[in-house]
Amino acid sequence: MLRRLILTPDDHRIARLTAAAIAIALVESAVPSPLPGVKPGLANIITLLVLLRYDWTTAAWVTLLRVLAVSLLVGQFLAPGFVLSLGGALASLLALFIVQPLVRCQSRWFGPVTLSIVAALAHMLTQLLIVRAWLVPSPGVWVLAPVFFGAALFFGSLNGLIVAWLMQPNAGGVASNENLPHNTQP
């Protein structure tokens, strides 16, 4: 006997947003990077939009599903690259969970850029720790830390500004209320 899967609107929403994030991440993985590990992380724009438009749980679903799907598509599931992606994603989700009250309650002062920078730094730091502890067990790894730190700051700010721009009411309607179903914003 077949058991029917009941799909809630939430499932549809998560699937749609994850698909968008996967597309961005795949395009990005095809672009060569000057240094292994340095990339813009544009797919995180989706994570931040979901966090701000919906809630943290949805953002976590979208992000973790994206990491899983992209690693399968790129062919590095359970390879070091996957462990690094997953570690970075978990760390930045944790950081977002901690920082999000600041943005929700003090939105005059703190916006998407804060979220993005904090998440990018958590991502970078965790990946560096994983590399140090597991892949390259040598203190020499820290010599590269300023490069990764600078890249995280730069791309974190850039992504945050993009999110802030997309969140505006008149920004071409990309992330405006009427285009996303089941909006939970008041």
Partner 1 sequence: MNWFPKHPIRKLLRPGDALVLLAGIAGWVMLSVSLWQSGPAAQAQVRRDGVLVAAYPLNEDRTVSVTGPIGTTMIRIESGRARVVSDPGPRQYCVRQGWLTRPGEMALCAPNHISLTLTGGQPTYESMAY
Q: Which spans of this chain sit near partner 1 (rule: CB under 8 A)? A: 36, 102, 106-114, 117-118, 121, 139, 142-143, 145-146, 149-150, 153, 156-157, 160-161, 164-165, 168, 170-172
How is 104-141 classified by DSSP, letter by letter?
A: HH-TTT--HHHHHHHHHHHHHHHHHHHIIIII--SGGG
Least distance to partner 1, CB of residue 164, Å? 4
Cβ-based nearer residue to partner 1, 38 or 64 = 38
Residue 150 beta carbon to partner 1: minimum distance, rounded to whole angstroms: 6
Distance between CA atoms of 58 and 174, rounded to whole angstroms? Answer: 19
DSSP type of residue 31: S
Residue nearer to partner 1 on the CB measure, 78 or 105: 105
**CA–CA separation, 39 and 34 (whole Å):** 9
Closest approach of partner 1 to the CB of residue 140, in Å = 9
**Closest CB to partner 1 among 39 and 64?**
39
Choice between 18 and 127, CB closer to partner 1: 127
Q: What is the closest distance, in whole angstroms, from the C-beta atom of residue 170 to partner 1 in the complex?
A: 6
* 8 Å CB contact between 10 and 60: no
CB of 127 to partner 1, least distance (A): 16
CA–CA distances in Å: residue 145 to residues 112, 114, 139 = 25, 21, 11
CA angle 108, 168, 170 (to 5 degrees): 140
- Comparing CB distances to partner 1, the nearer of 22 and 122 is 122
d(Cα 90, Cα 99) in Å, to the nearest integer? 14
